[in-house]
Chain A
Amino acid sequence: MKQSRRNFLKFAGLSAAGLCLAPTAAALASGGGGHGKAHAVVNANSKHAKRWAMVIDTRKLNTDEAINALAEVCHHIHNVPTIPGKQDIKWLWEGTYSETFPNQTNNFPSEELEKRKFPLLCNHCETPSCVRVCPTKATFKRADGIVAMDYHRCIGCRYCMAACPFGARSFNFMDPRLHLDMEKINVKFPTRMRGVVEKCNFCVERLAVGEMPACVEKSSGAMTFGDLQDPDSNVRKVLRENFTIRRNPAAGTEPGVYYII
């Protein structure tokens, strides 16, 4: 058979069309085999909110012992080490009135208020300055308002620590495992490594399996946790019924932790 240019072009066109169709045909063929594609979904029993928030009743929860008991639970389940000195890591700690509300201090406070201790933790702000300054997006705000850390991405630049007006972040100057009893740690939760910044995560890993934050569970009613956007939620109910203040409102970060005084 004589090969003409016309025949060659016809054949080339057909082959090109075939090559274009082949991947689609292959995908269709394998799609019908009964095997779905692997994918991930949200846990069925996880807790949801449009915006998580916490209300702390400091009339009930105001002593060193009570707050330390909460911190102990929190620090145990998250493998937070206790390091003597200035390099200590803290997710939940306590402070005096003037430490907690530095811009709202009075020169003659009541004796009772002066003695009171206030539980402090990350405020999970509405407009978190730590998220704004993080160059690697290691700290980020989730859709439900929780400001979370991705320790895989943290490069330890500590911009977030400089940006946080609440001092809610700690830097791992050394391997935290040196100060953890590796026999007694919570094996369900990772530790951190040297050179990352860490902070409270509103127990995001517990919310994901349908449990309340550990401190809220332990506080026997002094802490309320719920959806700030839902007018019928328990936090909104408590906020409606009590006078509350937030830490350092002048910083403009809109904290998600409210204190009943």
Chain B
Amino acid sequence: MQYGGKIIAGLVIFLGLVSLPFWFNMGGTYEQPKVELPKNAKECVAPKEEMRTSHMQLLDEWRDMALREGKRTYISANGKEYTISLQNTCMECHTSKEQFCDKCHTDAGVTPYCWDCHVPPKEAK
């Protein structure tokens, strides 16, 4: 290996640069966003963990059930009935989009376009 030293040094510098974001964030602690839970409701349509990881799938299913299949009543796993509606059911308990939805969405860097059409409670009093 004629240029072994240079190649290895180059590789080390390259790997160092590529992994720079990881170095920068090492040692720091991640703090979960503090969402404001609804005061007037104790339980959601599904357990908290399930909602946290897959509320997007649930909303996607709800959209098709209500709009395309015409099924607008949701019976949850523990037998409770809910009207399938983002605006009239979800936002009835989660009365603040800024304090609930936006906090995690901003943290995770996602911008769902739900609010282009559905009206969050604050916007229309």
Cβ distance A202 to chain B, nearest Cβ, rounded Å: 12
Q: Which residues of A contact B117 (CB under 8 A)?
A: 151, 190-193
CA distance A192 to B118 in the complex (A): 8
Taking a contact as CB atoms under 8 Å apart, the answer to whether A182 and B124 are in contact is yes
Taking a contact as CB atoms under 8 Å apart, the answer to whether A40 and B63 are in contact is no
Q: Which residues of A contact B119 (CB under 8 A)?
A: 182, 185, 187, 190-191
The 8 A CB mask of B3-19 against A (1 = contact, 0 = none) is 00000000000000000
Q: Output the nearest chain B residue to A180 by Cβ-Cβ distance.
A: B124
Q: Output the nearest chain B residue to A143 by Cβ-Cβ distance.
A: B70
Q: Which residues of B contact A230 (CB under 8 A)?
A: none
Interface stretch of the complex, out of A31-39, A55-63, A92-100: A31-39
Taking a contact as CB atoms under 8 Å apart, the answer to whether B70 and A42 are in contact is yes
CA distance A35 to B77 in the complex (A): 6
A41-B70 CB under 8 A given contacts A190-B118, A193-B117:
no
B56 at the interface (CB under 8 A from A): no
CA distance A152 to B77 in the complex (A): 27
Q: Output the nearest chain A residue to B78 by Cβ-Cβ distance.
A: A35
Q: Which residues of B contact A150 (CB under 8 A)?
A: 67-68
A28 at the interface (CB under 8 A from B): no
Taking a contact as CB atoms under 8 Å apart, the answer to whether B116 and A183 are in contact is no
Give residues 44-75 of B contacting A (CB, 8 Å). 45-46, 61-63, 65-75
Taking a contact as CB atoms under 8 Å apart, the answer to whether B76 and A40 are in contact is no
Q: Which residues of B contact A182 (CB under 8 A)?
A: 119, 123-124
Q: Which residues of B contact A240 (CB under 8 A)?
A: none
Interface residues in B, total, Cβ within 8 A: 33
CA distance A140 to B45 in the complex (A): 29
A147 at the interface (CB under 8 A from B): no
Taking a contact as CB atoms under 8 Å apart, the answer to whether A42 and B73 are in contact is yes
Q: Which residues of A contact B87 (CB under 8 A)?
A: 187-190
B106 at the interface (CB under 8 A from A): no
A142 at the interface (CB under 8 A from B): yes
Taking a contact as CB atoms under 8 Å apart, the answer to whether B77 and A142 are in contact is no
A40-B124 CB under 8 A given contacts A187-B119, A188-B88, A192-B117:
no
24 A–B contacts, CB within 8 A, in A order = A36-B75, A36-B79, A38-B45, A39-B75, A40-B66, A40-B74, A41-B73, A42-B70, A42-B71, A42-B72, A43-B72, A43-B73, A46-B70, A46-B72, A148-B68, A182-B123, A183-B125, A187-B119, A187-B124, A190-B117, A192-B117, A193-B113, A208-B70, A208-B72
Told that A152-B63, A189-B87 touch, could you supply 15 new A-B pairs with CB distance under 8 A?
A: A38-B46, A38-B75, A38-B76, A40-B61, A40-B65, A40-B71, A40-B75, A43-B73, A46-B72, A142-B70, A148-B68, A152-B67, A185-B124, A187-B121, A193-B116
List residues of B whose CB falls within 8 A of some A CB: 45-46, 61-63, 65-79, 83-84, 87-88, 113, 116-119, 121, 123-125
